Amino acid sequence: MKLKRISIRSSSGTYEVVCGAGALQDAAKEIRALGSSSSVQVVSSPRVWRALGKEMKRARLMSREANVHMFDDRETAKNLESVKKIARSLSRAGADRKSLIVAVGGGVVGDVVGFVAASYLRGVALVQVPTTLVAQVDSAMGGKTGVNLPEGKNLVGAFYPPKLVIADSQLLRTLPNREFRAGLAEVIKYGVIADADLFSYLEKNFDAILRRDAKALDLVISRSAQIKAHVVSRDERESSLREILNFGHTFGHALEKVTRYRHFQHGEAVAWGMVAASLLGHEAGLTRADDVSRVVTLVRRMGVLPAWPRVPEKRLVDAMFADKKTLHGKLRFVLSRRIGEGRSYESVPLHLVERVLHFTPRLMQAVENHLGKLRG
Ligand SMILES: NC(=O)c1ccc[n+]([C@@H]2O[C@H](COP(=O)([O-])OP(=O)(O)OC[C@H]3O[C@@H](n4cnc5c(N)ncnc54)[C@H](O)[C@@H]3O)[C@@H](O)[C@H]2O)c1
Ligand SMILES: [Zn+2]
């Protein structure tokens, strides 16, 4: 299959995302084309390496085994301790300013290793090899890196764009089902906010995508990556346009927060959030009922989501106000006037938000009951 090359502009130069099944086979060549480096240092996690280490060795990214560094990529290990551990391991391996760091893994690996690359010797070149759907369509592009503090998620970080991203959809074959499905939420998001054709394609081909059919997967990954690339090229620092990427996320983050990040995968919370944001758009007189219904239907096809938490609506509202994305104490929501278009709105009346928080789980329950009846 033909590989796609997508360019992203950033404050520190333009870089390319090479995407498609088999992209990894060209990785060594692509890396050499970046210019000479004193050594290539691969950083990954034991879990990712167990699934994909063989492929990585075959791709000959690094010349010596000694230059592979491992750290635990659980979300709870996305912290400064891991940064220190990796930096020390790099130092022991003799990595210098001309070394190149290759991050192989999902969003956790990309965020942590990206931050290491930004700060080790005040910055060394970075290549991202994303291995989850979330990482391939979202986190490996755009230059946001960072780690969590006990006080909150992603509180320490840096903008540090990579020199290259290799997004090989074949690497997703070993991804656990729940991770894969959750990643589809971000793909649906791109359809809603920016690409009506992508959304229709998803509606027509969702079963093939769930089977991880190579052709369908390549299409949705490259379309999603193009949208992300377009948005972050125009607004690297999230001053305006980049905000549309937060569709479903104001609600989603609140759901994650009140359940202490244990109940939902991020994408599952975003899926709930997109249903809520569509209903909110409807309440605000922007989104047509028909579009709400299309979003609900597609989200439902991701599979049954973990239950909406049984907490008072007020707790979710408080969590939204505590989100670091709140500006001047005002809630901001990305809403969609029609599938394929999204924009950020502030000053959405709070009583509408509360109403939507009340109705979203009830609506999905009604859909479930209906589907249950159809199945007999
Ligand atoms: N920087 C950004 O712009 C950005 C955007 C979105 C999310 N994020 C961050 O990304 C993180 C979530 O990333 P994620 O959803 O990719 O999950 P993840 O990195 O937590 O990976 C999920 C699990 O899958 C395993 N895994 C990864 N690739 C695999 C493969 N090919 N085969 C088998 N197992 C594999 C991992 O070891 C891990 O256990 C969060 O920390 C989030 O904050 C960052
Ligand atoms: Zn997200």
Cα separation, 114 vs 123, whole angstroms: 10
Nearest ligand to the CA atom of 112: 1
For residue 82 and ligand 1, the question of a CB distance below 6 A is answered with no
pLDDT score of 1: 67
156 forms beta bridges with 147
Question: Residue 163 gets which letter from DSSP?
Answer: S
pLDDT score of 19: 97
For residue 143 and ligand 1, the question of a CB distance below 6 A is answered with no
Residue from 44, 71, 134 to probe ligand 1 pocket by mutation (most atoms less than 8 Å from CB): 134
- The closest alpha carbon to 59, from 26, 34, 37, belongs to 26
pLDDT score of 326: 64
Read off the tokens for 17.
């995302």
pLDDT digit string, tens, across residues 244-266 = 999 999 999 999 999 999 999 99
Look at ligand 1, atom 19, and give the residue with the nearest C-alpha: 106
> Which positions are annotated as active-site residues?
122, 144, 186, 228, 238, 242, 246, 249, 253, 266
Q: What distance in angstroms lies between residue 233's CA and the mean position of ligand 2's atoms?
A: 18
Cα separation, 231 vs 106, whole angstroms: 21
For residue 131 and ligand 1, the question of a CB distance below 6 A is answered with yes
pLDDT digit string, tens, across residues 61-96 = 877 777 999 999 999 999 999 999 999 999 999 999
Residue 108 alpha carbon, nearest atom of ligand 1: 19
pLDDT score of 324: 65
What value does the mean pLDDT take over residues 223-228? 97
In angstroms, how far is CA 17 from the centroid of its own chain? 15
pLDDT digit string, tens, across residues 47-64 = 999 999 999 999 988 777
For residue 257 and ligand 1, the question of a CB distance below 6 A is answered with no
Q: What distance in angstroms lies between residue 83's CA and the mean position of ligand 2's atoms?
A: 23
pLDDT score of 235: 85
What value does the mean pLDDT take over residues 140-161? 95
Cα separation, 252 vs 276, whole angstroms: 9
For residue 114 and ligand 1, the question of a CB distance below 6 A is answered with no
Read off the tokens for 93.
């391996």
For residue 79 and ligand 1, the question of a CB distance below 6 A is answered with no
Look at ligand 1, atom 22, and give the residue with the nearest C-alpha: 106
User: Pseudo-torsion of CA 108, 114, 117, 123, nearest 10°?
Assistant: -150
Which residue's entry shows tokens 């891991």? 82
Strand order of the sheet with strand 13-19? 4-10, 13-19, 164-167, 125-130, 100-105, 40-44, 68-70
pTM: 0.96
Cα separation, 185 vs 262, whole angstroms: 18
- The closest alpha carbon to 251, from 148, 353, 144, belongs to 353
Q: State residue 212 phi and psi, 5-degree precision.
A: 60, 35
Nearest ligand to the CA atom of 132: 1
Residue from 111, 145, 247 to probe ligand 1 pocket by mutation (most atoms less than 8 Å from CB): 111
Cα separation, 186 vs 164, whole angstroms: 22
Residue 179 alpha carbon, nearest atom of ligand 1: 22
Cα separation, 312 vs 79, whole angstroms: 31
pLDDT digit string, tens, across residues 318-348 = 999 987 666 666 789 999 999 999 999 988 9
Cα separation, 5 vs 164, whole angstroms: 10
Q: What distance in angstroms lies between residue 93's CA and the mean position of ligand 1's atoms?
A: 26
Q: By the 8 A CB rule, do 335 and 342 touch?
A: yes
Q: Count other C-beta atoms under 10 Å from residue 308's C-beta.
A: 21
Q: What is the largest CA-CA distance in the chain?
A: 65
Q: Work out the pLDDT band at 156, boundaries 50, 70, 90.
A: very high
Q: Work out the pLDDT band at 268, boundaries 50, 70, 90.
A: very high
For residue 52 and ligand 1, the question of a CB distance below 6 A is answered with yes
Q: Work out the pLDDT band at 189, boundaries 50, 70, 90.
A: very high
For residue 78 and ligand 1, the question of a CB distance below 6 A is answered with yes
Pairing of strands 68-70, 40-44: parallel
Cα separation, 282 vs 294, whole angstroms: 13
User: If residue 359 lies in a helix (H) or strand (E), which one and from where to where?
Assistant: helix 350-375
Q: What is the mean pLDDT of the chain?
A: 95
